[in-house]
Each structure stands twice: as structure tokens, then as C-alpha cells.
């Protein structure tokens, strides 16, 4: 039985990366001996369930990577040797230099999994760009979330195409509505995501204000929390729309409430492959999203089950949301077509790709 380790800077933080990590651990724990490891910034218990998984952290308190880099290399090398790890997966590029240095001279294979994308312009730190270059160039295999990002990595860093693949996030097959199910009478818009600068919630507030001025009987809910929560709340209050644009916090059963809504909106500056769009798609929701790098264009069929909006044109997004509000028949068409191409994101298909990677690397 192969021993595989999925690691992340901070497994205690609720994020897309840690969610994907937990899902991979859950799926493979019966087929392989699975380890989950918090590298630098772990602060306590895992954010998501780790039943049946060997979960641990390199440090027992929160430490900044710049001050603990070499200590992390030593600790991770010992961990890999002591546990005889065969393959280590870095979920996200930021820990990859620690992983690569710790694996020198060992028989462990290193796989770097990009959770964001190379095209984003918001995180321009030297450390981030160096990690992306190093991970794609020197790992045994590099995994992106989208074909668009794979092509960009090959082009920008002159990579060997055989050492870089893309594997989508998946949507659990049991969650896909095989039968049409949409509430045409709903007058509620929904957005879901961690409150952080890349989510573009300041644009969402501007767009929502325009929607409510034209359609005061509609409301808009945002689910999530994070570092910019208070800033967005203050902006909502400043614009006097707090009675209609509501911050709902974290909902552990978020998938079950999509059915209450009429439209899903994503205003991100960039994504990897957003799970929230897959969930909305599986729930028969019409989607309006900026055509940001990367993910939305691989999920949404523009004009068939949603609208892709030029980045970052608030006026165009407002116009398209209003078009959906004005035309119930268009919302119904989008809802009926929502699952047109969803099976390329099916769990069974995606898991086969992961198993093939593990068995052949």
C-alpha cells in the first residue's frame, strides 16, 4: 500500500485548498495510507474532517514562514523519512520550496498542485511567483486546475508538456440534480466565498446597489467570512443597503440552500476552479460571473446557462443580472441547461485521473 501525504500551509483554515485536501484524503484513505500535514501556519484542529487520516502539523503554534523556513525543511524531511512517504502532494505552490529541499536524496516523488492560477495579477509577490516557477519546473509532476492554466504554464516557463497535467475540482455525482428543479418565483440572489480581496466584494456592493434601485423587491445574500468581512459590512452600511444585501456568515450546509435562490453571482478578480460555481451549476442556478482567470469559462456556457462578463465591468454585470430579473423565461432556460456539461466535473471521472497519477508517477 502506497503512502501518500497531502500538505498545506495551514490545514486549520477554512479555504478552498484545505477543502480539496480533505476531500482527497477522504477518498483515498481506504486505498492508500494517507497523511495530512500542516506545514508552517497550523494553529490547531483541521478545518474539515480528517477521520481515518494521519493528521499532524510540523509546529504546534502559528509561525511565519520566513522565520521558520529551514526548521520546516528539517522537520518535513524527518517526517518524510520516518513515515516512508512515497508521494507528497503540495496543495498550493507556497510550500513547494520547503517540500523540494526536504525531499533531496529521498525516494519520495513530489507533486505540486496549483490551487490558484498563473494569470492572476493580485498576488504579485516575488515569493509567490518564485514558488509557481519552482513548483512547475522542478516537481516530478505539476497539476493545474484548468486547461487554460496548464497552457499558460507551458508557454511562460517552457515546460515539458508531459510533466504538467490539469485535473478539475469535482462535484459529487450525488449532488447533481438529474431532474430539473428551479424556483421561478424566487427573488433572491446568492454569492458564496471567503471574504478576501480577490473576491471583489466591493464591486458586488456597487452592482447590488444598482439592482436594488431598479428592483427593490429583490434581495442578495453573501455567505462566508474572512479578513475583509468588516470592511464589506461597513461599505454596505455606508451605501444604506444593509436591509437587502445581507451577510449570512458561514453555513455548513450551504449546498442545501442554493435551491432557495434565483441567480448565483461571482465577482472574483481571479479563481482557480471555483467549487461554488460547480455547486450552483449542479443546483440548476443561472450564473452571472466575471470571466476571470481561471475557471468560469470552463464551467459556464455563455448565453446557454449563464453569462460571462468582461473583467471587471460592473455596468455589464448589472445589465445582465437585470436582464435575468426581467426575463423569467431566460432564467428558466438557463436553469434547464445548467447541467449541460457538468459530467466533465464528475467525481468518478476526476478520481480516476488522480489514481492514474498516483499509480504511474
What are phi and psi for residue 321, nearest 5 degrees?
-60, -45
Residue-wise pLDDT tens digits, 54-100? 999 998 877 777 788 999 999 999 999 999 999 999 999 999 999 99
Q: Mean of the pLDDT values across residues 38-44?
A: 74
Q: Mean of the pLDDT values across residues 175-181?
A: 70
Cell 518524510 identifies what position? Answer: 80
Domains of the chain as residue ranges with CATH: 3-170+346-360 (3.40.50.2000), 173-344 (3.40.50.2000)
The overall average pLDDT reported for the chain is 92
> Is the preceding omega at residue 197 within 30 degrees of 0, hence cis?
no
Residue-wise pLDDT tens digits, 266-291? 999 999 899 899 999 999 999 999 99
For residue 168, what are the CA distances in angstroms to 147, 152, 155?
A: 9, 16, 20
What span, in angstroms and rounded, lies between the C-alpha atoms of 268 and 306?
A: 16
| pLDDT for res 238 | 97
| pLDDT for res 297 | 94
| pLDDT for res 45 | 79
SS3 224: coil
Cell 501518500 identifies what position? Answer: 4
Q: For 302, which DSSP code?
A: B
- pTM here is 0.84
Among candidate residues 109, 6, 110, the one with its CA nearest the CA of residue 55: 6
| pLDDT for res 156 | 93
| pLDDT for res 11 | 85
For residue 285, what are the CA distances in angstroms to 58, 163, 240, 254?
A: 42, 36, 28, 14
- On the question of pLDDT at 251 being above 70, the answer is yes
Among candidate residues 338, 331, 296, 299, the one with its CA nearest the CA of residue 200: 296
Q: Mean of the pLDDT values across residues 25-52?
A: 87
SS3 content of the chain, % helix, strand, coil (to 5): 45, 20, 40
Provide the grid cell at 303.
448565453
Amino acid at each position: 500500500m502506497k503512502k501518500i501525504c497531502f500538505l498545506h500551509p495551514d490545514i486549520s483554515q477554512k479555504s478552498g485548498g484545505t477543502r480539496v485536501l480533505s476531500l482527497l484524503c477522504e477518498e483515498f484513505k481506504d486505498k492508500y495510507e494517507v497523511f495530512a500535514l500542516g506545514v508552517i501556519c497550523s494553529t490547531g484542529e483541521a478545518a474539515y474532517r480528517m477521520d481515518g487520516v494521519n493528521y499532524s502539523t510540523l509546529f504546534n503554534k502559528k509561525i511565519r514562514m520566513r522565520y521558520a523556513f529551514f526548521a520546516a525543511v528539517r522537520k518535513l524531511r524527518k517526517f518524510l523519512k520516518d513515515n516512508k512517504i512515497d508521494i507528497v502532494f503540495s496543495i498550493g505552490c507556497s510550500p513547494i520550496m520547503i517540500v523540494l529541499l526536504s525531499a533531496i536524496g529521498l525516494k519520495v516523488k513530489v507533486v505540486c498542485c496549483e490551487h490558484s492560477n498563473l494569470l492572476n495579477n493580485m498576488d504579485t509577490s516575488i515569493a509567490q511567483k518564485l514558488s509557481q516557477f519552482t513548483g512547475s519546473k522542478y516537481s516530478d509532476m505539476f497539476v493545474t486546475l484548468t486547461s487554460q492554466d496548464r497552457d499558460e504554464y507551458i508557454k511562460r516557463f517552457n515546460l515539458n508538456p508531459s510533466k504538467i497535467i490539469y485535473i478539475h475540482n469535482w462535484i459529487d455525482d450525488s449532488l447533481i440534480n438529474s431532474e430539473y428543479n428551479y424556483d421561478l418565483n424566487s427573488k433572491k440572489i446568492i454569492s458564496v466565498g471567503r471574504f478576501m480581496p480577490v473576491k471583489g466584494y466591493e464591486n458586488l456592493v456597487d452592482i447590488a446597489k444598482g439592482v436594488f434601485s431598479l428592483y427593490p423587491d429583490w434581495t442578495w445574500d453573501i455567505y462566508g467570512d474572512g479578513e475583509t468581512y468588516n470592511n464589506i459590512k461597513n461599505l454596505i452600511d455606508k451605501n444604506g443597503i444593509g436591509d437587502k444585501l445581507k451577510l449570512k456568515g458561514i453555513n455548513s450546509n450551504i449546498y442545501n440552500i442554493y435551491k432557495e435562490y434565483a441567480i448565483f453571482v461571482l465577482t472574483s478578480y481571479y479563481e482557480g476552479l471555483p467549487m461554488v460555481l460547480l455547486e450552483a451549476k449542479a443546483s440548476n442556478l443561472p450564473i452571472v460571473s466575471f470571466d476571470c482567470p481561471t475557471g468560469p469559462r470552463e464551467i459556464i456556457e455563455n448565453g446557454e446557462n449563464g453569462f460571462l462578463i468582461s473583467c471587471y465591468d460592473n455596468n455589464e454585470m448589472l445589465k445582465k443580472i437585470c436582464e435575468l430579473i426581467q426575463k423569467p423565461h431566460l432564467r428558466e432556460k438557463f436553469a434547464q441547461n445548467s447541467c449541460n456539461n457538468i459530467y466533465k466535473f464528475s467525481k468518478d471521472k476526476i478520481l480516476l485521473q488522480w489514481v492514474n497519477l498516483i499509480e504511474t508517477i
